[in-house]
Amino acid sequence: MAQAPTNKNKAAMTLPKNTRFGKVALIGKLHSTASAQSVAVLQDIALFLQKSGCEVVLEKSTAEQMGLNNLPTLNLTEIGAQCQLGLVVGGDGSMLGIGRQLAPFGVPLIGINQGRLGFITDIALDQYASVLGPMLAGEYDADKRSLIAGKVMRDGKCIFEAMAMNDVVINRGSHSGMVEMRVEVGGHFVANQRADGLILSTPTGCSAYALSAGGPLLHPTIGGWVLVPIAPHTLSNRPIVLSDAEEVAIEIVAGKDASANFDMQSLAELNIGDRIVMTRSEHSVCFLHPKGWSYFDTLRKKLHWNEGGS
C-alpha cells in the first residue's frame, strides 16, 4: 500500500498560481445506481479534461459501478499517491467521504454538484465546462478545511477511530430515552448533559445538522468547533463555540443503545463508560473554487438569504 506523504511533503496543499494539473482523478457518486445520464456525464467530463491537456483516470469503484472501461482506473490510495487533483461529481456526501480518505495525501478537490444542496460541491453541473477551464489553467481560490480525529475508548483501549469533516454526533438509541454525557474540554470538566445527543461540528459542518439543532455558522477560516446539544433536558444548555486546539472528550454516563456517528458515514456503538475523544486532525482537506468564490455567496444562495424582502 502506498504511504501517505508527511505534512512537510504536501506540496499539493500549497499550490502555486497558474498550476496545470497533469493527472486528474474523476470520481463519481459512490454507491449510486448507474444510469445512462450519469454515465454520459462522466464520459463528457472525462473528454473535457483530456481536451484540456489532463491525463484522466477513473476511481476504481466509479468505473465498476458505471460500467466504464475506456479509461485507466486507480483506487483511492493510488489516486492519493499519483494524482495532482481529484474531481468529485456528486453531492456533499460524496465529497465528505472522498475528502476524508484523500486528506492524508494532500490531494486538492474540486466538486461538481450532482446532488441537492451543494455547500461543498459548488460547481453547477450545467456550468462545469465554462468554470473548469480557467481553474485547470490555475485560476482558482484554495480553501482548506479542518477535520476532527475521533476515537472511542473503552476500558483504556481504543476500540474505534475515524475522521470527520462535518461532525461527530453522539445519539441516544432509537427506542430509549435521553442519554447522559459528561463533557470535558482541554481536560477540564464542563458539565453533565442529559439530551437526545450532542454534536461536535467543524466550521464545514456548521451548515448541516448543527445548524438544524440551533447552532451558529462558523466561517471556514476560524480555528474552532461548535458543541451543540440535541433537544437538551435543561433549556439553558446552549451551543458553545470552542477552540479546536483543545481536546474534547464525551463520556457516556447513562442511557441505552447510544452511538457515535462520524459524518453520518461511520458508526460506533457505545456502552456506558465509553469515552469519545476528539482532537483536530493533523490532516486537512483542500477545496479549489472558481476565482472570486466567496463563502458568503454560498450561504446567501443555499440558505436563500435576501429572499422575500423589499
Domain boundaries, the chain: 7-138, 147-282
Query: What is the predicted pLDDT for the residue at 176?
Result: 74
DSSP classification of residue 75: -
- Which residues are known catalytic residues? 92
Are 122 and 293 contacting, i.e. CB atoms less than 8 angstroms apart? Answer: yes
Distance CA 103, CA 108 (A): 9
**Looking at the domain 7-138, which fold is it?**
Rossmann fold (3.40.50)
Residue 18 φ then ψ, to 5°: 65, 25
Residue with the three cell numbers 460541491: 121
Distance CA 148, CA 300 (A): 26
CATH superfamily entry for domain 147-282: Probable inorganic polyphosphate/atp-NAD kinase; domain 2 (2.60.200.30)
Query: What is the predicted pLDDT for the residue at 278?
Result: 98
Sheet of 197-201: strand order equals 240-243, 224-230, 197-201, 167-171, 259-262, 266-269
Please list the pLDDT of the chain residue by residue as tens digits (310 residues). Answer: 444 444 433 333 444 443 479 999 999 976 656 677 888 999 999 999 999 999 999 999 999 988 888 899 999 999 999 999 999 999 999 999 999 999 999 999 999 998 777 889 989 999 999 999 999 999 999 999 999 999 999 999 999 999 999 999 999 987 778 999 999 999 999 999 999 999 999 999 999 999 999 999 999 999 999 999 999 999 899 999 999 999 999 999 999 899 999 999 899 999 999 999 999 999 999 999 999 999 999 999 889 898 765 4
Answer yes or no: same fold for 7-138 and 147-282: no
- CA proximity to 109, closest of 127, 88, 126: 88
What residues contact 150, with CB distance under 8 A and at least 6 apart?
161, 162, 163, 164, 168, 260, 262, 276, 277, 278
Query: What is the predicted pLDDT for the residue at 269?
Result: 95
Are 161 and 151 contacting, i.e. CB atoms less than 8 angstroms apart? Answer: yes
Q: Is 127 helix (H, G, I), strand (E, B) or coil?
A: helix
Distance CA 23, CA 83 (A): 5
Residue with the three cell numbers 483542500: 286
Q: Is 171 helix (H, G, I), strand (E, B) or coil?
A: strand
Q: Is 39 helix (H, G, I), strand (E, B) or coil?
A: helix
What residues contact 72, with CB distance under 8 A and at least 6 apart?
57, 58
Query: What is the predicted pLDDT for the residue at 204?
Result: 97
Distances (CA, A) of 261 to 47, 175, 248: 38, 17, 15
Query: What is the predicted pLDDT for the residue at 308?
Result: 65
Instruction: Indicate the angle between helix axes 128-136 and 36-51, nearest 10 degrees.
Output: 30
Query: What is the predicted pLDDT for the residue at 10?
Result: 39
